[in-house]
Structure 1
Amino acid sequence: KEKLQHLLKRIEKLPLNAKHNFKVQAIYGFLINELKTLVINKKIDLIIMGTKGATGLKSVSIGSNTGNVITKVPCNVMAVPENACYENIQEIGFPSDLNIAYDIKVLETIKDIILLKRSAIRLLYISGANETLSQNQTKVKNFILDYFKDNVCTYHNITGKNIDESVQCFTESRNLNMVIMVAKNLNFLERILFRPTVEKISYHTKVPFLVIHE
């Protein structure tokens, strides 16, 4: 409780922000259960969490905390790596396997973020060697591109064996400021964020990522 009060005092010293109020609360219980209850009772729209082990060998497990929140709590989650520095959000990456059609509300949420910062969005598909899009994937791709036709939106197809490494390379090569993922396709999401053998996050860039739930 003392640390929370200290944090609140640090926040109060920041430039005045009339759009937000800050409250602190210490709760005893299991993280996931308590968060689920808070999301419902407080009508929470977004959970923001810091992640440790954002770079290199310092791969501290967040599977038990942020990873579980992302996959088990039905609320949008923004994860901010510990070494992230705030930058104006000019480019946003949107990795997708294009297998599942997205709900309009999800795309509206992404568009709201784009319009807020006048950002460009980069739709990313990672393919295997000599792989082509199926008819359904082409349909989903065209639907997304059509939805964002009034925004700066481009499609990128790169070849790679490991989805997590491909997303990371694309993020770094394009100097993306944020990555957006959709929790609807949980299998694809987990392939980006987690190594299959251990519950450790494998996403090691300094770029925040937002996971949107329907």
Structure 2
Amino acid sequence: MKTILVPTDFSENAFVAAEYACALADAAGQKVQLLHVYIALYAGYGEEGNSVKQIKWAETESGEAMKDLVGTLTKQFPDVDIEGECVKGFMIEVVMDKLKKGENSLVVMGTKGATNITESILGSTTYEVIKKSPVPVLVVPIDTPDFAFQRVGFFTAYDDDELDALFAFQQAITLRPHLAMVHFFKKDEKAPEKELAHWQRKVAEAYPDWGVSYHAIPVEKANINAVTQIAQTEGLDLLMFARPHKSFFQKIFEPSLTKAIANYPTIPSLFIKT
């Protein structure tokens, strides 16, 4: 059974992401693995006793918080196998080590939040996980409504590498939503009709059983507003992007916008390394 990894700092936004992951796991027949990484901060110079106390305190606090979180989610999703783990270390390092084992098919993360101790670890590491993760990373904003997975928007540059992203999506998530293929081009340029027709044939050949629609949209500037507008117009439940290489981001978007969408998504957004 496939397992969704959900890093959490016990913030409100992380809880929303965990709920989303559990709803997705419930629909797709997967397991959920919650992960909290804590850092015990202390000063040196002979203060070993205090540092040991701080580590034990962090272990106890995180362990109790994880127990409560697993209990709450299990009540909401009784049919989902949910487990939790607390590890001392640094979030990005622990997450990457876990992903190297090949046991997780997907990572689900929140974007911003704060614990009662310090600023959210997730807020500063989500983008790093997206850049380094060998599996798809799904970012969930705090204001995400009830779980829905009917229509997914895939932002494409008509690159062959993006077919690999679709395959990774198929492997990570067994659900089959409608795919809305979205391509932006500049208003002062001609619509890429030949490229679109070529892309349609390739997608149909690779994924003949999927429901797919195609949208070539002229824009003044391909920015987060354009992404948000098409998401609203098409009633999309999820946005999907392939990266890195010469992807949609590098060809159409400014590099900084990749990070902006990752940190401040308007709806759940999936990032796939190709």
TM-score by length of 1: 0.76
Decide which of 70, 83, 99 is 2:130's aligned counterpart. Answer: 70
Q: Distance in 1 between matches of 2:121 and 2:86?
A: 23
Between 1:163-172 and 1:178-187, the stretch displaced more is 178-187
Task: Provide closer, same or farther for how the CA distance between residues 107 and 201 of structure 1 changes in structure 2, counting only shifts above 3 A.
Answer: closer
CA distance in 2, matches of 1:211, 1:173: 21
Q: By how many angstroms is 1:37 displaced?
A: 0.4
Give the TM-score normalised by structure 2.
0.62
The question of 1:133 aligning with 2:192 is answered yes
Aligned position for 2:182 = 124
| 3-state DSSP of counterpart to 2:85 | coil
Residue 63 of structure 1: how far off its partner (Å): 6.6
* Shift of residue 48, structure 1, vs aligned partner: 0.8
Distance in structure 1 (CA, Å) of the matches to 2:225 and 2:204: 24
Query: For this pair of structures, how many residues does the alignment match?
Result: 203
CA 1:74–1:189 in structure 2 vs 1: closer, same or farther (change >3 Å)? farther
Kindly tell me: are residues 175 and 62 of structure 1, through their superposed partners in 2, closer, same or farther at Cα, counting changes over 3 Å?
A: farther
Counterpart selection for 2:150 from 80, 87, 90: 90
For residue 165 of structure 1, report the CA deviation from its aligned partner: 2.4
Aligned-pair Cα RMSD in Å:
3.4
Which residue is equivalent to 2:89? Answer: 29
Q: How far off its partner does 1:77 sit?
A: 0.9
Q: Secondary structure at the match of 1:27?
A: strand
Q: Which has the larger radius of gyration?
A: 2
Q: Higher RCO, 1 or 2 (CA under 8 Å, sep at least 6)? A: 1
Identity of matched residues, %: 20
Q: Which runs of 5+ in 1 are unaligned?
A: 54-59
The residue aligned with 1:49 is 109
Residues 24-74 of structure 1: per-residue CA shift (max 9 Å, x gap):
222232322211101123621111111238xxxxxx997732111111222
Aligned CA distance change for structure 1 residues 186 and 71 (closer, same or farther; 3 Å)? farther
1:4 maps to: 66
Q: 1:48 and 1:95, CA in 2 relative to 1: closer, same or farther beyond 3 A? A: same
Paired residue for 1:108? 167
Structure with the bigger percentage of helix: 2
